[in-house]
Amino acid sequence: MAFIDKISLVTPGLKVDGTGYVGGSDKGKGDHPYIKGYFYVFFGVPSTIFSDSNSNITRQQAKEFLLVSAEDYTPPGDRTLNLQDIQGQGGVDASFLTGQTINREFSIQYKDYWGAPIFRIHRQWASYINPYLGGSTMAVDFSAAEYKGACMIIQTKPIARQVGSVQKDWKADDLIKIDYFDGVQPLTDLKSAYGSSLSDNSFVKPTVQYKFDGSPLDETDPDVLNKALSIMNASNLFTKTSKLYNDFANNNSIPV
């Protein structure tokens, strides 16, 4: 049986009564509303593009800046089940399942910094096709493995783990939503977000559209949940974020 064939509820102890009242001090975690806005973006970028021979931006630098700079995540559109109708006598019709339609794009909005590292990372990724030649000067075999990556987006409860001397690990119950995309590639070689106007002194926040292959895996797959948990516990997120901000502000460059 495939993982998706049998999904269990993982929210125990729901105590909502007939009035819909969820208040009171006796309510447990099963009664707490879903809160969004706490998420982390982990990319796996292709080594052919982000290599010492092709780029001054390493894979680790790219992954860390994409992680700490993401401000808004828009998931793919809903998967739609396709139905076909058979007409019945007197307008009494019936519908039958014929397949599905999957939207294979998601987007992330970033905040950029002096030196424009977000622009440079995506410029490098999109330059697998050389914009001046129309072909690839990086390609070894011109295979998908050379230009496609992966992305895991993990949404959590409003919880901070592994902060300072309090090295308390993340646990599965802390993670509320996971999207894992494979075959990821950006559709955007950023330009339009970097315009300028005398009347606009706002921050630069480019939005990047990504394409992926197949259908995303999610937290209903135990393997995906376990992988997300191991990534979170290996990341030291709050220490990493502080170091990147400080290094970039002091050095005005992508830190090593």
Per-residue pLDDT tens for 136-187?
999 999 999 999 999 999 999 998 887 766 678 888 889 999 999 999 999 9
Burial of 151 (0-12, 13-18, 19+ CB in 10 A): buried
What's residue 236's pLDDT? Answer: 76
More confident residue, 74 or 253: 74
Joined tokens for residue 188: 């955007």
What's residue 1's pLDDT? Answer: 46
Q: Spell out the domain ranges in the chain.
A: 39-86+103-251
Q: Is the pLDDT of residue 229 over 50?
A: yes
Q: Positive or negative CA dihedral for 82, 177, 172, 28?
A: negative
Q: How confident is the model at residue 190 (pLDDT cuts 50, 70, 90)?
A: confident
How many angstroms separate the Cα of 125 from the Cα of each of 50, 60, 148, 157, 188?
Answer: 8, 14, 9, 32, 10
What's residue 39's pLDDT? Answer: 93
Q: Is the pLDDT of residue 231 over 80?
A: yes
More confident residue, 238 or 143: 143
> What's the DSSP call for residue 232?
H
Q: Is the pLDDT of residue 256 over 60?
A: no
Say how many Å lie between the first and final Cα of the chain, rounded: 45
Q: How confident is the model at residue 19 (pLDDT cuts 50, 70, 90)?
A: low
> What's the DSSP call for residue 163?
B
Per-residue pLDDT tens for 112-124?
988 889 999 999 9
What's residue 209's pLDDT? Answer: 96
Out of 3.90.700, 2.60.40, 1.20.140, 2.30.110, select the CATH number for domain 39-86+103-251: 2.30.110
Q: What is the mean pLDDT of residues 77-99?
A: 93
